[in-house]
Amino acid sequence: MNTAAQPTTQDLSSLRINGQRLWDSLMELAQIGATPKGGVCRLTLTDLDKQGRDLVLGWAREAGMSVTIDKIGNAFMRRPGRNNALAPIMTGSHIDTQPTGGKFDGNYGVLAGLEVVRTLNDHGLETEAPIEVAFWTNEEGSRFVPVMMGSGVFAGAFTLEHAYAATDTEGKTVQGELQRIGYIGEQEPGEHPIGAYFEAHIEQGPVLEDNAKTIGVVEGVLGIRWFDCTVTGMEAHAGPTPMPLRKDAMQAATRIMQEVVAAALRHPPHGRGTVGMVQVFPNSRNVIPGRVKFSIDLRNSTDALVDQMADEVKAFAAQVARERGVQVQVELVSSYPAQHFHPDCIQAVGRAATALGYSQMPAVSGAGHDAVYMARLAPAGMIFIPCKDGISHNEIEDADPTHISAGCNVLLHAMLERAMQG
């Protein structure tokens, strides 16, 4: 690496990434698993995932980076610093996609990190601490569960053995598929230091676009509670049974569904309430439903707020059960705590956006990201850029090239702020 002419502080302020190179890399990676509608289907640990991994790691090696793979298949691409005893300043995301995924979700964060390194190489700039770019295994969870598997194992949220044993719909295991594509490394997950972690990502929602802002300074990730609600009444003939004498599970269920939305609206600005799955028994046109099972998804910026929303929904459900003469069971099936990012990283992102002249606003993430688990281990932060119409997990997912460059420039300067200090 050429370090003969180190840029001055003034030079650093004018440092910018090569936006066309980043865009071209995104488009080249998107050809692996490209779909007819312009999206990407590159499920984790498939042959296509191997091709994507090989391509990205090839680019990293061309940029002079060393590569380490751990036992869950997480990849760490390292650019050395002046003091390699320091923990690296890391960025990254994932390159696996949904079955009907887009070109940017996850992929942007990985290739933005690679572009940061390429830019530092272009200018012969040596950082005090090493720089690393990571991609994490099975973030999407579309083939294997749990979601955010690689970063979760790395952070100790669940064991390597638990992850290895996960199977897809054909009975294939994570361990077997990692072995098949050649991506079981030797390093124990988690035995890899992190000085700070930044992740650039498309917003996957409409808020930035709606507010005409280029950069979202992400303060944290919403807490999530998932429940299954089962309402049990009595199926009966739709004709002969008078309305006052019915135990209609559907009518009781729909009242609770409305309360899910109402609870979210009572706790703005970050309250979210969704019913996304409904099963009706016996699901016949002229039979009063005797049982309805549906999902409840509650989210908010703090665990206390999510729990309060859940308590309100449960109390309302109990009231409906009494009034309607039905049984209601609300069962917690999954819980993800709210995660606040580190003030130093949040401020670094904000300072970078200000210095670069980009419009910005505070943001929260309603979706999970690998940064959630990294924030348990080291100071962490995220950078959001808008995506067209807020659409993601969809083949028409799109982002403006100028926003792609802007987010990467913010990433570059936020990482440099940490990496130059050591």
Give the integer Cα–Cα distance in Å for 267 and 115: 40
Helix (H) or strand (E) holding 10: helix 9-13
Give the integer Cα–Cα distance in Å for 173 and 298: 31
From 371, 414, 391, select the one nearest 209 (Cα to Cα).
Answer: 391
Instruction: Report the sign of the C-alpha dihedral through residues 297, 300, 306, 308, in that order.
Output: negative
**Domains in the chain with CATH codes:** 9-221+338-419 (3.40.630.10), 223-336 (3.30.70.360)
Name 171's Cβ contacts closer than 8 Å, sequence gap at least 6: none
In this structure, the number of other CB atoms found within 10 A of the CB of residue 188 comes to 13
What is the residue-level pLDDT of the chain in tens, covering all 422 positions?
A: 444 455 555 579 999 999 999 999 999 999 999 999 999 999 999 999 999 999 999 999 999 999 999 999 999 999 999 999 999 999 999 999 999 999 999 999 999 999 999 999 999 999 999 999 999 999 999 999 999 999 999 999 999 999 999 999 999 999 999 999 999 999 999 999 999 999 999 999 999 999 999 999 999 999 999 999 999 999 999 999 999 999 999 999 999 999 999 999 999 999 999 999 999 999 999 999 999 999 999 999 999 999 999 999 999 999 999 999 999 999 999 898 999 999 999 999 999 999 999 999 999 999 889 999 999 999 999 999 999 999 999 999 999 999 999 999 999 999 999 999 86
CA angle in degrees (0–180, nearest 5) for 377-207-221: 20
| CA end-to-end distance (rounded Å), the chain | 19
Tokens, residue 87: 């923990």
Give the integer Cα–Cα distance in Å for 64 and 263: 52
E-strand spans in 222-376? 223-232, 236-237, 272-274, 278-281, 287-288, 291-300, 327-336, 339-340, 360-365
The structure tokens 């819980």 sit at: 335
pTM of the model: 0.90
Give the integer Cα–Cα distance in Å for 300 and 241: 42
Within 244-342, where are the H helices? 249-265, 303-324
